[in-house]
Amino acid sequence: MDLNSGVAGFSQKDYQLKRHAHFPIEVAFSLSGQLTIATDTHRYANIQSAIINSNVPHTFSCLNSECQLYFINPVSYAGKNILKSYLSHNEDILIDPVEIEPFRENYILAFENQHPALNDMESRVQLILDWIKANYATDRINIARLAEVVFLSESRLSHLFKKEVGTSINQYILWKKIEMAIKHALEGSSLTRCAYSSGFADSSHFIKTFQKMFGIYPSFATKK
């Protein structure tokens, strides 16, 4: 797992997730057995791998199986290249697109030392991304404050950010808090300390937010 390059990953055995959606792209591989994934329009059973686009509601099951999951920031180097290579037509999901080792080599390891944002990002949005990264845990991080940073109206900034990043500012801030909380947990911090240091009101708030976004208890994703 390399959160500095916008990638988080974990493995899990025999579990099932209710309908959920999240900002990062999800890439899932079956390590043993098979996967079942359903979007709002299709159900895919007995599959070995899948790439699920950002913000696509879906259910997930690897019952009687073991899976490896990667969650990838769409504005990272790895995320941009995955979108270009696999989801260039804004598909919701791609089934059995690649095996795990070629994927890891080409889209995880190849970009693990790269800065999360690409140079082709609109300059004002890039400034906002950098500002969020530096201030994600503060009380003043909201659309009004960010609009002041780049001298835009709140409505104009919201539109520009959604166009460039593919999600709302509030959802991106929430993802950044989750991402940093996982990073702190991997470094050995308790869930309570992770929550406070990442800008959540308390550990309960962090756990509920994590479960809503990923469908699982955060300790599953913070195991080394």
Q: What residue ranges define each of the domains in the chain, with the CATH number in brackets?
A: 3-111 (2.60.120.10), 123-220 (1.10.10.60)
- Cβ-contact 49, 30 below 8 angstroms: yes
Contacts of residue 170, Cβ cutoff 8 Å, sequence gap at least 6 = 143
Q: Name which of 100, 95, 49, 62 is nearest 216 in CA terms.
A: 62
Q: Name which of 77, 76, 70 is nearest 104 in CA terms.
A: 70
- Quick: pLDDT tens for 152-209: 999 999 999 988 888 899 888 888 888 888 888 878 888 888 888 888 888 888 888 8
Each residue's pLDDT, cut to its tens digit, for the chain (224 residues) gives 455 667 888 888 888 888 888 999 999 999 999 999 999 999 999 999 999 999 999 999 999 999 999 999 898 888 989 999 999 999 999 999 989 999 988 888 877 665 554 456 788 998 998 898 888 777 778 899 899 999 999 999 999 998 888 889 988 888 888 888 888 887 888 888 888 888 888 888 888 888 888 777 776 555 54
**Which pTM does this prediction carry?**
0.82
H or E stretch covering 49 = strand 49-52
What residues pair up with 47 in beta bridges, in sequence order? 35
